[in-house]
Structure 1
């Protein structure tokens, strides 16, 4: 088990670059799913491996060994270094758990603070059940605030900065974020980054592809890619002129990310991507995910077999 359990810790360093390359070769929606799912699977496998290492050490506690009817001398002989590794794994697991809870609390607090900060504002019913909250603020800002219900938040300054067709595209963009629940992708990426440092490299590309996903939805809704591209560019320029308050991490905004790349993608909707590159990246990522999950499953079976062998040794004495 000791050898197998290391694979989920090492694989993310190879899988993250492969996922990024594959995402760049895909349309925005599947690209976002690839990045999000990769982070969840690899983070789950690494957390499970930490749990297996910690469990192997837990079995060496006399009270636990007596309760499970296993032979401690047999365990010590079979794996003399397991207790040291288990102590390190348990420490890492506790730290990861604390950081995960802290991240969840911070996300919840940010969203709650943002909703409270809306204060008195003009609010109107929106499409798909997402109200539109208009802030009386000269600064240009707009974002999708998740919640029950999710709200499209826009300032008066942003509305004045855009002509009517571009305002419609901007609101369609933010509405797409709420409809597709993009905040869940962002939250999952944050948790994955907490559980494994290599997965931090997925956060920025995931944010970009989520914005591209919303861009494409807005372009389809307004029926004009050029108008959507102008709306994204003009909104980003307007927002850059005046500082805006820090918005929650889980509140995506049309002005976020590499705006020039997004505008170029809207104006060139069918970029050519080499099929070989796409297939190679997909095969590499599939191999990484398969090895990681298979190693975790094999390590779980190995631990179960070890427990059974230790129980037989205890019964044979």
Structure 2
């Protein structure tokens, strides 16, 4: 176990470098799904590895050993390292749990603070009387559809056709429940520092999903690209005076807008082979991490059986 248990903790460092290439080369919906699955999977495997490191050291204490009916110490970890490793792993597990709990509570509180301004509106679109250009999709609480929030300043900054493209972009965020993908990667990042690098590729993939949906809705990729570019320029021009958006909001002007516009116009799109290679690499990292976690779990189970005197050590 002592060797296999480290693989899930190290594998995220190998997986993350391929994430940006995957977000650029794969179709955006597939990229977002794969990034979310990889982030959550690697985070869970890492947490399981930490839990496995806690057990051998914990059984060195008489109360735990008696509870597990152990007649001799576990052999999964060297005696001198068992207790220090268990203490560090337990501290990391507690820190991850506390960080995830705080993030969930903060996200929920922000949704509650943002919703009352729009609770009387029966329509999907909420227009704020504000000269500062801004537009974003605000996900609703469970059981509510969410809102498209746009300021009067943003409406004045765009032509009617461009407004339609912008609203289609934000609507795609709500329909696709993109905030859940973003939340999955955010929570995974709290469980392993290397997974923080997935936030950028995931944000890009989600904006690309909405860009493609907007282009399909208006039937004109150039119009969608122009609307996103003008919305971004208007937002950046008023950036110093802009009010902060809720953390869960997804905005058309977010992320690397020039790359998104270029993708809509079909410029500089990587070869599909690059996307397939990146997807295969990420899946391989996830499979290796999961297999190593299962192997370490099996080794620990065998060690526990041996310590209980039920079977000989394997």
Question: TM-score w.r.t. structure 1 length?
Answer: 0.90
CA RMSD of aligned residues (A): 2.1
Task: Report the Cα offset of residue 222 of structure 1.
Answer: 1.1
Q: Which moved more, 1:136-145 or 1:59-68?
A: 59-68
Q: Does 2:148 correspond to 1:149?
A: no
> For 1:99, what is the secondary structure of its paired residue?
helix
The 1:57/1:114 distance shift into structure 2, 3 A limit, reads same
Q: Does 2:143 correspond to 1:132?
A: no
CA distance in 1, matches of 2:172, 2:9: 35
The 1:69/1:200 distance shift into structure 2, 3 A limit, reads same
Task: Report the Cα offset of residue 77 of structure 1.
Answer: 9.3
Q: Does 2:178 correspond to 1:182?
A: yes
> For 1:312, what is the secondary structure of its paired residue?
coil
Q: Does 2:161 correspond to 1:160?
A: no
Aligned to 1:79: 78
CA distance in 2, matches of 1:152, 1:283: 36
Q: Does 2:191 correspond to 1:195?
A: yes
Task: Report the Cα offset of residue 20 of structure 1.
Answer: 2.6
Equivalent residue in structure 1 for 2:224, among 223, 228, 231: 228
The 1:69/1:37 distance shift into structure 2, 3 A limit, reads same
Judge conservation of contact 2:19–2:201 (CA < 8 Å) in 1: no
CA distance in 1, matches of 2:298, 2:60: 18
The 1:162/1:94 distance shift into structure 2, 3 A limit, reads same
The 1:282/1:239 distance shift into structure 2, 3 A limit, reads closer
Aligned to 2:252: 254
What are the Cα deviations for residues 249-284 of structure 1, in whole angstroms up to 9, with x where unaligned?
A: 221000101111111111117835162x33433332
Structure 1 residues not aligned, in runs of 5+: 126-130
The 1:78/1:248 distance shift into structure 2, 3 A limit, reads closer
The 1:279/1:215 distance shift into structure 2, 3 A limit, reads closer
Q: Which moved more, 1:212-221 or 1:17-26?
A: 17-26
What are the Cα deviations for residues 192-215 of structure 1, in whole angstroms up to 9, with x where unaligned?
A: 111001011110111011001000
The 1:120/1:108 distance shift into structure 2, 3 A limit, reads closer
Judge conservation of contact 1:114–1:247 (CA < 8 Å) in 2: no
CA distance in 2, matches of 1:267, 1:314: 65
* Dislocated runs of 4+, deviation >6 Å: none
Aligned to 2:291: 294
Aligned to 1:23: 23
Q: Which moved more, 1:263-272 or 1:192-201?
A: 263-272
Aligned to 1:280: 277
